[in-house]
Amino acid sequence: MGTRESVHCQPCRALPVPLRTDLLRNSSYRLFGAEPTTEHPEAPFWGHFWLCWWLTALSTPILWQMEYFGQISIGTPPQNFTVVFDTGSSNLWVPSVYCVSKACAKHSRFHPTQSSTYKVIGTPFSIQYGTGSMTGIIGSDQVAVSDVWGLIVSNQQFAESISEPGKAFLDADFDGILGLAYPSLAVDGVTPVFDNMMAQNLVELPIFSVYMSSNPDSPQGGELLFGGFDTSRFTGTLNWVPVTQQGYWQIHIQLGGTVTFCANGCQAIVDTGTSLIAGPTKDIKELQNLIGAHLLVSQYAVECSSLDVMLIPGFPLLLPQESGDGITFCISGFQGNDVPPPTGPLWILGDVFIRQFYSVFDRGNNLVGLAPAVP
Q: What residues are annotated to the active site?
A: 86, 271
Residue 320: closest CA among 62, 52, 49 = 62
103: helix, strand or coil:
helix
Cα 146 to Cα 162: distance, rounded to the nearest angstrom: 27
Nearest to 3 by CA among 322, 249, 333, 370: 370
- CA 92/CA 177 separation, integer angstroms: 6
* Contact indicator for 195, 189 with CB cutoff of 8 Å: no
Q: What is the 3-state composition of the chain as percent helix, strand, coil, each rounded to the nearest 5?
A: 10, 40, 50
Q: Do residues 81 and 144 make contact, with C-beta atoms less than 8 angstroms apart?
A: no
Rounded to 5 degrees, φ, ψ at 59 are -105, -5
Rounded to the nearest 5 degrees, what angle is found at the Cα of 122, between the Cα atoms of 44 and 115?
Answer: 105
Residue 52 exposure: Cα atoms within 13 Å on the Cβ side: 6
C-alpha angle with apex 249: 283 to 293, nearest 5 degrees? 25
What is the rounded distance in angstroms from the CA atom of residue 213 to the CA atom of residue 267? 26
DSSP string covering 225-274: EESS--GGGBSS--EEEE-SEETTEEEEEEE-TT--SSTT-EEEEE-TT-
| Cβ-contact 334, 300 below 8 angstroms | yes
